[in-house]
Amino acid sequence: MKTKSLLLVFVSVLITQISTAQKSFSVSVKGKGEPILLFPGFGCTGELWDETVAELSKTNECHIFTFAGFGDVPPIETPWLSSIKDEIISYVKEKKLKKLTLLGHSLGGTLSLWLASLETELFKKAILVDALPATAALMIPNYNGEIIEYDNPQSKMMLQMDKNSFDAMNLQSVAYMCLNKEKHKVISNWMSMADRKTYVHGYIDMLNLDLRKEIAKIKIPVVILAATSLGIDVVKNTYATQYQNLPTVKILYAENAAHFVMYDQPDWFIENVKLALN
């Protein structure tokens, strides 16, 4: 009897460990059909994809992610982004998902490139929304893969910033990243909800991810829906430079759209996502 009781306790603990093992994201699933993993951009929740899922769930099984530290998902310790990457791979394999499409915005798109370069047989295609293999190269002149430490003056300033200043900073950046004013409050609220340490250190994780060489390993079709608010010539040059090791990439440019292409050009966006899927 004692042995049986110990066995029951062991099984109970094991089940608890399995159920709590995945902690770097939450997922909601809608629709039926070939699966799509939908990854939001930095600071956003899975609600970013509400309008997209309303259409795609008619024909596909949509797995909508919100990453740790954003929305109502509890934060995790660093390294944040690599934990997300590892647990997504485990999630796909445990669920035995086949014929998978990756759909990612910004950070979610960069994450999709990382997954596709590491697991070359696991995915069917990738659709990226205004995403680059090396975000730091867009922001740091002559960037060549140098590691940015978590503990730096800019990070300290961001961590110590009061909430009003933090929210004001985000509202200003959202106005720059999204031309659709009706969506500014929604996006700003997501940023305001973010765990501050995740916001600061997670962004450094993203900056430290340089996939410009790694994308040469990708075997699946990759389609990019790119914003053009910075100027079409500048944007084309940036994408050509960053994706030179993935010559098969197909890039479509959205007119009159900033970073949140799905909000600035919703009809163009969903039409081209459907074309990429089919």
Contact 178, 264 (CB under 8 A): yes
Evaluate if residue 13 carries a pLDDT over 60.
Answer: no
Mean pLDDT of 213-223: 97
Domain residue limits, the chain = 25-277
Has domain 25-277 been given CATH number 3.10.105.10? no
Asked if residue 79 has a cis previous peptide bond (ω within 30° of 0), the answer is yes
Per-residue pLDDT tens for 83-102?
A: 999 999 999 999 999 999 99
Instruction: Say how far apart CA 181 and CA 259 lie, in whole Å.
Output: 13
Token pair for 62: 């949509």
CB 257 within 8 A of CB 265: yes
Tell me the pLDDT band of 29, cut-offs 50, 70 and 90.
very high
What percent of the chain is modeled with pLDDT above 70?
92
Burial 157-195 (b: 16+ CB within 10 A, else e): ebeeeeeeebeeebbeebeebbbbeebbebbbebbeebb
Q: What percent of the chain has pLDDT over 90?
A: 89
pLDDT at 19: 40
Tokens 């250190």 identify what position? Answer: 201
Q: Which residues contact 115 (CB under 8 A, 6 or more apart)?
A: 85, 88, 89, 102, 122, 123
Do the Cβ atoms of 41 and 258 come closer than 8 Å? no
Q: What pLDDT is recorded for position 32? A: 97
pLDDT digits (tens, 9 = 90+) for 167-204: 999 999 999 999 999 999 999 999 999 999 999 999 99
